[in-house]
Structure 1
């Protein structure tokens, strides 16, 4: 199959407000302009795209496909020392895995639960998007949920929308989404001392012009200008609203799945799984920095 047959491409909705499966595509084959346009439109509408049956896709193929959507970042700095094999991969590839070699992990996040988050929002320019390709998956567990931050914002009471319109939030840089302390950071116990980028609580998407919540991670987040108690109350309210089932979709992984998400208007989380099972995934991220 080639991508030239754009009429074979189909976007099949998966969740009520988020997610679509793209059928009729081989990600290892050349991609023509019409196919790229189709995928960009589907991604803009559904926020998360799933491509099944892509086990044959190589790491270089994964990189090449990802580049159709923008320049790629280098892999992030790990929260702990990794086995040397992880450093031998292309610089655009990050490993998400619980597998160890000689007692050293080959990738990040292990087998525990990963809380709701957007990727790397503790940076001034977080990635625009991420593409995660499953090579090995456990028989059960390790599901990933995604949620739609457009829908979460648009369903807020108007009074609350007005309250947060001009507010910013500090996004904690010290901990990753598995709660592990990143290398070089001190543990934060008072959110008012949080170290990380400041972002608006309401973000306007640069392509669609639509408003969405922009939350990052809950842990250690702080709204400058508010008392700690008021900041905690406001953030608890926003997070409780945003993480309702109505705005979410659950991805149950199969080997060969590639899932791509818009990091600007989604959050995601992962279930824990059996630590004796193997889970091996490779990830690219599309840069949102000025090129």
Structure 2
């Protein structure tokens, strides 16, 4: 990371260190168990400026993770997993991302050890979450890195003809499978994008807080642009996806225990590298409710 920018607040200094990539910054000098109002104002500003924030060396209980997350807004309950279960009794806000099996031989979390493809969290809902926070409790010795891509940068890099074509279009965000490729609980599978369950959202949205234009994409599988012949929809989405997932728009977090990463779900996508299924990975995630459906 480079280009340190120190933002001084009333009771100390919050240091924001941009990654040097199209998005992302590390925030230093903050214990997330004890965030003052002035520090939070600096964190919130940095989040809007950089879309993804990394806080290293944190020591958070689930209650402390929930408390910090709530400063950004009301929390969603964790989604029901592919096996129909929730995982944290008494704390429905906590979603466990893990490949570890419990004493009963059942997974303690979701998404396993495979690749998690490029996606926006729960964008198949009419009102998706506006933000997600992921906290590392155990990490594998290799693999499992998370990549983030700026949908601001992806939109701005589109050729003008493609920008004009994308304006006003709506894309179906598929609700059949999660980002690990697992079938969602209670869903009948289909691979026809025209009939797959999901929600239509504008292909290009205006961020409600920054006012910037961004692509809004969910998962490539079963995505469909409303009103177009299937072949035309597929070709257009392929072109847009190629731009949205270019390395030039991305930054990668190589996880350490104690990392907390906060991302803006309205202007980023992310994916995860696979890792050795015999290695342990345990992450706890919270989600901030969206204030409104994505809009153009």
Length-normalised TM-score, structure 1: 0.95
Does the alignment pair 1:43 with 2:13?
A: no
1:62-92: per-residue Cα shift (whole Å, max 9, x none)?
Answer: 011111111111111111144x8x2415111
Work out whether 1:258 is the aligned partner of 2:260: yes
1:177 aligned partner: 179
Shift of 1:6: 4.8
User: In structure 1, what is the equivalent of residue 206 of structure 2?
Assistant: 204
* Cα separation, 2, equivalents of 1:136 and 1:242: 30
The residue aligned with 1:112 is 114
Q: Give the corresponding residue for 2:165.
A: 163
CA RMSD of aligned residues (A): 1.4
Partner of 2:81: 78
Using the TM superposition, give the Cα deviation of residue 4 of structure 1 relative to its aligned residue in structure 2, in angstroms: 7.4
Query: Is the contact between residue 188 and residue 194 of structure 1 (CA under 8 Å) also seen in structure 2?
Result: yes
Indicate the residue corresponding to 1:61 in structure 2.
64
* Residue 57 (structure 1) shift: 1.1
Task: Give the unaligned 5+ runs of structure 1.
Answer: none
Q: 1:235 aligns with which of 231, 237, 257?
A: 237
Q: Cα deviation per residue 1:250-285 (whole Å; 9 max; x = unaligned)?
A: 110000000000000000000000111100010000
Cα deviation, residue 8, structure 1: 2.0
Per the alignment, residue 4 of structure 2 pairs with none
Q: Is the 8 A contact 2:117 2:271 kept in 1?
A: yes
CA distance in 1, matches of 2:10, 2:139: 31
* DSSP 3-state at the match of 2:137: strand
CA distance in 2, matches of 1:113, 1:81: 21
2:3 alignment counterpart: none
Partner residue, 1:273: 275
CA contact (8 A) 2:88 2:95 kept: no
Distance in structure 2 (CA, Å) of the matches to 1:175 and 1:188? 10
Residue aligning to 2:24: 19
Q: Provide Cα deviations, 1:2-61, integer angstroms capped at 9, x if missing partner.
A: x976542111011421110000010111x222111100110001100000001x211111
Q: 1:115-169 deviations in whole A, cap 9, x for unaligned?
A: 0000000000000000000000001100000000001001111111111101000
Q: What TM-score comes out, normalization by structure 2 length?
A: 0.93
* 4+ aligned runs moved over 4 Å, structure 1: 3-6
2:229 and 2:150 map into 1 onto residues whose CA distance is 29
Q: State the 1:178 CA deviation.
A: 0.8
1:100 — aligned with what? 101
